[in-house]
Amino acid sequence: MSLRIPCPCCGGRSVHEFVHAEIRRVPDHLTDPDERDLDFAFHHDNEEGIVTERWFHALGCRRWFEIRRDTTTDRIIEAAES
């Protein structure tokens, strides 16, 4: 079974219907504007553990929503419309 994403509108659907998007956060300790741009464009937190991320139901209701997912197990903790 592949990952099923709980869409608040359509219910649980296959991950292949969705587009994944990371919520980009440039760390506060970066102050140089060029460094902040570089970080925003390329760097990732790539966190191991529970992350909050956005998903777009491209082949469904075409809405954005947020879920919390554990990247070490792919377990979805909660989903909420945003």
Partner 1 sequence: MNEFTERQMKLTWRPPKASYDVVIVGAGGHGLATAYYLATRHGITNVAVFERGYIGSGNSGRNTTIIRANYGIPAAVRFYQRSVDLYRGLEEETDRWLMHQQKGILWMAHSEAAVRAERMRAKLNTEFGAETEFVGPRQVEELCPELDMSGGGRWPVLGASYHPQGATARHDRVVWALAEGAMERGAHVHQNTPVEGLILDGERVAGVRTAEGDIAAGAVVSAVGGHVSRLAAMAGLRLPIRTHRLQAFVTNHYRQQFGPIVASSELFFYASQTARGEMLLGAEIDPQPSFSYRSSHDFVQDVCRRALCLLPFMASLRVLRQWTGVCDMSPDYSPIMGRTGVDGFFITTGWGTWGFKAIPAGGEQMAELIASGETPELIAPFGLDRFARDRTMADRGSAGTH
Q: Between 40 and 80, whose beta carbon lies closer to partner 1?
A: 40
Q: Between 14 and 82, whose beta carbon lies closer to partner 1?
A: 14
Q: For residue 66, what are its two tokens?
A: 């947020």
Q: Tokens 């809405």 belong to which residue?
A: 63
Q: Between 11 and 43, whose beta carbon lies closer to partner 1?
A: 43
Quote the least distance from Cβ 20 to partner 1, whole Å.
Answer: 5
Task: Find, among 64, 61, 59, 62, the residue nearest to 21 by Cα.
Answer: 64
φ/ψ (deg, to 5) at 18: -115, 160
Binding residues (CB under 8 A) for partner 1: these are: 1-3, 14-16, 18, 20, 22, 27, 34, 38-39, 41-48, 69, 71-74
Quote the least distance from Cβ 25 to partner 1, whole Å.
Answer: 11
Quote the least distance from Cβ 11 to partner 1, whole Å.
Answer: 17
Burial annotation 25-55 (CB, 10 A radius, 16+ → b, else e): eeeeeeeeeeeeeebeeeeeeeeeeebeeeb
